[in-house]
Amino acid sequence: MTVGFITVTTFGVLQSRGLEMEAQFRSRIESIGNALPKKKLMTKDLMDSCRHHINVDMEELTGIHERRVCSEEENSSTLARDAALDCLGHSGHKASDLGLVINCSISKFDKGLSHRHEPPLSLYIKEAIGAHGAMNFDIQNACAGMLTGIYILDNYIRLGIVERGMVVSGEDITSLSFNAVRTIRSVASKQMASLTVGDAGAAAILERAPSASKGITVSEFITLSKYSDLCFGRPCKNAPGATMSTEARKIHRVAIEDSPPILKRALDRSGLSFDEIDHVIPHQTYERSIKSGARRISEKFGVKPKNVIINLHDFGNTASTTHFVALYKYLNEGLFKKGENIMLICFASGLVVGVVIFTMDELVDKYSKGSS
């Protein structure tokens, strides 16, 4: 992956104009924030709004009961800002302590469904939270966005460029659903995946880890660009927002067939076997797809992870924020324990496959069991 003149490798080394710089430090996730719209939309109500009757039980097919939907006052910008503020509320640091803010939103809506290109959303966020001295930039890598941001910031910290920073995203993507219900005629439609999405904001602060913390041990990414036509979005021609066309079955098949090598590399680098992973959080798409994918990958490795988290029921697919929406929920519910190994897996349009492995530490102490 190239950022300016710097190429970030998967081995904690930056190569710049022929020079190699070895990583000096390790990073960890210091705090996580969340922002969810108050409005909920049930899957049944969404399907009832379809112009044409579709003979499918969408909730049974996907495992999604409801999702959050932005009101007129909410959008990508406000969700990202509020998630960043919530993250700081759980942090031991102030906004002025941040050296870098990376925004990873796919959607960049501001003031309704006006798409914001310049100035970048990262600039708005850092100014809104008071991180005036931080560097900032936006990246966009579909649903792999936040994990890509973690990957980049992890390397910045490892090399001593910054001591800490924030990765943040706000996804206002349910216009995909509202535009799809007007045209979908059958379950075979390429817009069916548009009916799974939900709106959410998420943020994470990474910091230089103390010597006793394992922190983030691995981040691995690969782009299989020959599959880039299997999912793409574009502005809707006759309504506000966007539309998305997805070859859902093909993407699922390709992801499962091509992901084991990158998972194996990540596990080898971490010194762990698949059955030593306590919690796997995959990208949240369809419940059936997640379960069948977990089975097939476990068969390839010959062992199973201890727990695969499915977080679809209440939130749907929240795109780049999905892993951190799940982490936030289950941190508050007391699911994780210190010393447990967590694997985050993303499958994103492109096709991007990414893996981040970290060990849970004092992060659990910053969240109250049973709070929302």
Whether 372 is in a domain gets the answer no
Indicate if 123 and 178 belong to the same structural domain: yes
Pairing of strands 200-208, 341-348: unpaired
Whether 45 is in a domain gets the answer yes
Whether 289 is in a domain gets the answer yes
Number of CB atoms found within 10 A of residue 280's CB: 24
Whether 29 is in a domain gets the answer yes
Residues spanned by the domain of 64: 2-208
* Tokens found for residue 137: 């930039």
H or E element, residue 213: none
Indicate if 186 and 293 belong to the same structural domain: no
Burial letters 3-35, b for 16+ CB under 10 A, else e: eeebebebebebeeeeeebebebbbbbbbbbbb
In this prediction, residue 22 carries a pLDDT of 63
Indicate if 263 and 203 belong to the same structural domain: no
* Tokens found for residue 347: 């499958």
* Tokens found for residue 30: 């210091």
Amino acid letter for position 308? V
Indicate if 196 and 236 belong to the same structural domain: no
Total tally of structural domains belonging to the chain? 2
Among the candidates 184, 208, 232, a domain finishes at 208
* Tokens found for residue 334: 């007391």
* Tokens found for residue 243: 């539309």
Interior CA angle at 127 toward 122 and 129, to 5°?
95
Whether 167 is in a domain gets the answer yes
* Tokens found for residue 223: 């782009």
Instruction: Please report, for the domain that includes residue 220, its CATH number.
Output: 3.40.47.10
In this prediction, residue 1 carries a pLDDT of 33
Number of CB atoms found within 10 A of residue 202's CB: 32
- One digit per residue, the tens of pLDDT, for the chain of length 372 reads 333 333 334 334 444 434 345 668 999 999 999 999 999 999 999 999 999 988 889 999 999 999 999 999 999 999 999 999 999 999 999 999 999 999 999 998 777 677 777 889 999 999 999 999 999 999 999 999 999 999 999 999 999 999 999 999 999 999 999 999 999 988 888 889 999 999 999 999 999 999 878 999 999 898 888 888 888 788 778 777 788 888 888 888 888 888 889 999 999 999 999 999 999 999 999 899 999 999 999 999 999 899 999 999 999 999 999 999 999 999 999 999 999 999 999 988 888 999 999 999 999 999 976 443
Indicate if 342 and 285 belong to the same structural domain: yes
Among the candidates 180, 208, 236, a domain finishes at 208
Q: What are the angstrom distances between the C-alpha of 59 and each of 65, 182, 281, 313?
A: 6, 19, 21, 9
What count of Cα atoms within 13 Å lies in the side-chain half-sphere of residue 172? 26
Beta strand residue intervals within 182-249, DSSP E = 200-208, 216-223, 231-235, 242-246
Indicate if 347 and 255 belong to the same structural domain: yes
Amino acid letter for position 67? R
Indicate if 103 and 162 belong to the same structural domain: yes
Measured distance CA(50)–CA(187) in Å, rounded:
12
Whether 371 is in a domain gets the answer no
Indicate if 220 and 154 belong to the same structural domain: no
